[in-house]
Structure 1
């Protein structure tokens, strides 16, 4: 179950970053509230996951999911660059997260 908590925490991290972007520097109150709620959701599930999963592995996977998810959504919805180099390095993040799961 800890891995489910960690994946949920990663999705919460992605939501946190996206809502932060949409809050426009915390000027839009509704998105600011969503930012805080997503952050709390993410940290809660990360804390649940870290009861079982080693700290280094859990943190690396949590940030990997957050980083990769944020990059993908940025490319899809915020017109960020889809340069092949970005996609290559995004692939390395995903490979690293999968590798940590396999060896952990």
Structure 2
């Protein structure tokens, strides 16, 4: 169950990174709303990460959390913010995903 919580924490990391990107693009009150979303996602992500580390090794949990956040943020950047989807970006994204899966399999939990 804590692996599921950890993945959800990583998805909220994607949420706070996405809110930062939208806040950068916005002005006035809209930018403030995106920043509120940022802080909400940040708080939820950290609380879930804390919960997951109660039974998972901290090094593995942190690496998976940042990996899920990085992969998700790159995908949001490509799909939503129209960032380039070049071969090498996708290649290294794939290696990151493989590393996250590998950490899950070698973890004692």
Q: TM-score w.r.t. structure 1 length?
A: 0.96
Q: Highest Rg: 1 or 2?
A: 2
User: Structure 1 runs of 4+ off > 6 angstroms?
Assistant: none
Q: Secondary structure at the match of 1:65?
A: helix
Q: Secondary structure at the match of 2:84?
A: coil
Instruction: Work out the CA distance in 2 between the residues paired with 1:26 and 1:11.
Output: 22
Q: Show the counterpart of 1:86.
A: 89
Matched, 1:34 2:37: yes
Instruction: Work out the CA distance in 1 between the residues paired with 2:15 and 2:77.
Output: 12
Instruction: Work out the CA distance in 1 between the residues paired with 2:81 and 2:90.
Output: 16
Structure 1: where are the runs of 5+ without partners? none
Provide the aligned length of Structure 1 versus Structure 2: 104
The structure 2 residue matched to 1:65, chosen from 61, 64, 68, is 68
Instruction: Work out the CA distance in 2 between the residues paired with 1:79 and 1:88.
Output: 18
Q: Show the counterpart of 2:3.
A: 3
Instruction: Work out the CA distance in 2 between the residues paired with 1:54 and 1:25.
Output: 37
Q: TM-score w.r.t. structure 2 length?
A: 0.92
**TM-superposed deviation, 1:25:** 7.7
Instruction: Work out the CA distance in 2 between the residues paired with 1:24 and 1:71.
Output: 17
- What is the RMSD of the two structures over their aligned residues, measured on CA atoms? 1.3
**TM-superposed deviation, 1:24:** 1.4
Structure 2: where are the runs of 5+ without partners? none
